[in-house]
């Protein structure tokens, strides 16, 4: 089994403010393809420290992956130091220099000469393009060791790992890589311990199949990993387990692997050529922002209203003053009028509305912080749901937006749409 050592560079990681999520992401990804993490190091921008880390990494593992330190600034030393230890010398690559100069030209900004560092690589290295930034990654096999350098910003790093690194690892280690296959089943609704109870009987896997639960912003991700004598066997094991889980959680399941709730809903709406509009009070745009994470969402998303003030609720959505007075802005009745008003205003097929108390202030005995109403209006009806969340302002807002999406998802599921 291949061994990997992960190095995170960046002074900020040594301060008590930044959690190093990169190394955790990489560890999980590498596990998935059967590469074992034997150690991790976090270092600042000091040359001596970086050297030590790469030295002990190369000593104790076949593969060393580092994140960060690829920037143009003086304190970004990772590539320089790592190449030295591998016994390779970075030289300027014309095509990379051109790419850099174009990048700055596009932005109509002069390129600081110091950025040229980012265009230098050892001849032995494969350059990993970084469409999202100026710092390319590096994949360097030399003397039976593999050195992989990735940028620090998580979005750049994850994209580069998935598109550039993973395929190369599978290319270079196909033989050694102990094949395991995984599937993640994603659930929204029940809590982690609830899911654990529901699946208890499946936890003790009969054969070659393990299960792990991960709670993530209200979603529960069930990761099943199958080992087997061969490809077919592994798939058989995985499918059996998936079916068993599906039988127990069925309608709570919203997707698999990389599926997201917004994607899932997008597919359903697009497939049935329906349109969606929203009205948001406490989430103030979070729902619209989630829906439009999906490229091409304009096909089914009309838009909506951020009704943060009562005046806005009345003026744009026609919520009645009497309703607001009698029941309050955070009430079943207001949520329904918001949804119906949005449906009418937009002429969309579905309208989602959210009103709630995100806190930390503004709660009362009968309407505590975390009380949220979500409503779904459609041609011949409107369903309203009362929810009570516990957590920070941000948590309550996120869970409210996701629950609204899930309300629509379940409705569309029933419609078989």
Enter the tokens of residue 314: 């009345």
State the minimum distance, in angstroms, from the CB of residue 384 to a second copy: 17
Which residues, other chains included, contact 144 with Cβ-Cβ below 8 Å and sequence gap of 6+?
62
Identity of the residue, 122 or 313, whose beta carbon is nearer to a second copy in the bound complex: 313
Closest among 76, 82, 81, 85 to 10, alpha carbons compared: 76
Identity of the residue, 88 or 339, whose beta carbon is nearer to a second copy in the bound complex: 339
State the minimum distance, in angstroms, from the CB of residue 225 to a second copy: 10
Identity of the residue, 24 or 244, whose beta carbon is nearer to a second copy in the bound complex: 24
Identity of the residue, 180 or 241, whose beta carbon is nearer to a second copy in the bound complex: 180
Rounded to whole angstroms, the Cα distance separating 285 from 400 reads: 11
State the minimum distance, in angstroms, from the CB of residue 391 to a second copy: 5
State the minimum distance, in angstroms, from the CB of residue 148 to a second copy: 16
DSSP collapsed to 3 states, the chain: CCEEEEEEECHHHHCCCCCCHHHHHHHHHHHHCCCEEEEEEEECCCHHHHHHHHHHHHHHCCEEEEECCCCCCCCCCHHHHHHHHHCCCCEECHHHHHHHHHHHHHCCCCCCHHHHHHHEECCCCEEECCCCCCCCEEEEEECCEEEEEECCCHHHHHHHHHHHHHHHHHHHHCCCCCCCEEEEEEEECCCHHHHHHHHHHHHCCCCCEEEEEEEECCEEEEEEEECCCCHHHHHHHHHHHHHHHHHHHHHHEEEECCCCHHHHHHHHHHHCCCCEEEEECCCCCHHHHHHCCCCCHHHCEEEEEECCCHHHHHHHHCCCHHHHHHHCCCCHHHHHHHHHHHHHHHCCCEEEEEEECCCCCCCCCCCCCCEEEEEEEECCEEEEEEEECCCCHHHHHHHHHHHHHHHHHHHHHHHCC
**Given phi > 0 = left and psi -120 to 50 = alpha, else beta, which region is 243?**
alpha
State the minimum distance, in angstroms, from the CB of residue 416 to a second copy: 27
State the minimum distance, in angstroms, from the CB of residue 255 to a second copy: 16
Identity of the residue, 88 or 338, whose beta carbon is nearer to a second copy in the bound complex: 338
State the minimum distance, in angstroms, from the CB of residue 49 to a second copy: 5
Identity of the residue, 88 or 343, whose beta carbon is nearer to a second copy in the bound complex: 343
Q: Which residue has the tokens 């989430």?
A: 283
State the minimum distance, in angstroms, from the CB of residue 19 to a second copy: 6
Identity of the residue, 311 or 325, whose beta carbon is nearer to a second copy in the bound complex: 311
Q: 363 near 180, Cβ under 8 Å?
A: no
State the minimum distance, in angstroms, from the CB of residue 213 to a second copy: 7
Closest among 137, 2, 148 to 71, alpha carbons compared: 137
Identity of the residue, 71 or 90, whose beta carbon is nearer to a second copy in the bound complex: 71
State the minimum distance, in angstroms, from the CB of residue 353 to a second copy: 13
Identity of the residue, 198 or 413, whose beta carbon is nearer to a second copy in the bound complex: 198
Which residues, other chains included, contact 59 with Cβ-Cβ below 8 Å and sequence gap of 6+?
none
Identity of the residue, 383 or 395, whose beta carbon is nearer to a second copy in the bound complex: 395
State the minimum distance, in angstroms, from the CB of residue 274 to a second copy: 14
Identity of the residue, 25 or 124, whose beta carbon is nearer to a second copy in the bound complex: 25
């Amino acid at each position: 089994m291949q061994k990997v050592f992960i190095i995170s560079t960046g002074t900020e990681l040594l301060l008590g403010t930044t959690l190093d999520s990169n190394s955790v992401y990489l560890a999980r990804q590498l596990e998935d393809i059967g590469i074992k993490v034997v150690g991790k190091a976090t270092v600042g921008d000091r040359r001596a420290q970086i050297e030590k880390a790469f030295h002990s990494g190369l000593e104790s593992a076949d593969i060393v992956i580092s994140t960060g330190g690829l920037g143009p600034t003086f304190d970004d030393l990772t590539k320089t130091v790592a190449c030295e230890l591998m016994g390779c010398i970075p030289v300027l690559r014309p095509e990379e220099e051109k790419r850099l100069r174009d990048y700055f030209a596009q932005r109509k900004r002069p390129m600081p000469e110091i950025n040229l560092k980012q265009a230098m690589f050892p001849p032995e290295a494969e350059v990993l393009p970084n469409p999202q930034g100026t710092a390319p990654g590096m994949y360097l096999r030399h003397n039976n060791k593999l050195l992989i350098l990735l940028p620090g910003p998580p979005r750049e790093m994850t994209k580069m790992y998935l598109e550039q690194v993973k395929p190369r690892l599978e290319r270079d280690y196909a033989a050694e890589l102990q094949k395991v296959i995984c599937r993640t089943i994603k659930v929204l609704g029940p809590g982690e311990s609830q899911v654990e109870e529901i699946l208890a009987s499946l936890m003790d896997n009969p054969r070659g199949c393990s299960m792990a639960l991960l709670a993530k912003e209200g979603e529960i991700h069930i990761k099943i990993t199958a080992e087997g004598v061969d490809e077919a066997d592994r798939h058989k094991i995985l499918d059996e387990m998936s079916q068993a889980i599906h039988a127990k959680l069925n309608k709570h399941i919203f997707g698999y692997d990389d599926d997201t709730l917004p994607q899932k809903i997008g597919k359903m709406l697009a497939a049935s050529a329906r349109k969606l509009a929203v009205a948001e009070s406490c989430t103030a745009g979070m729902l619209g922002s989630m829906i439009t994470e999906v490229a091409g969402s304009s096909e089914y998303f009309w838009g909506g209203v951020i009704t943060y003030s009562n005046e806005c609720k009345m003026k744009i959505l026609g919520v009645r003053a009497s309703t607001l007075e009698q029941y309050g802005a955070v009430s079943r009745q207001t949520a329904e009028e918001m949804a119906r008003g949005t449906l009418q205003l937009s002429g969309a097929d579905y309208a989602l509305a959210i009103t709630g108390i995100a806190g930390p202030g503004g709660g009362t005995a009968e309407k505590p912080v975390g009380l949220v109403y979500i409503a779904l209006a459609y041609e011949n009806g409107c369903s309203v749901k009362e929810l009570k969340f516990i957590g920070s302002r941000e948590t309550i807002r996120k869970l409210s937006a996701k629950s609204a999406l899930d309300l629509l998802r379940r409705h569309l599921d029933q419609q078989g749409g």
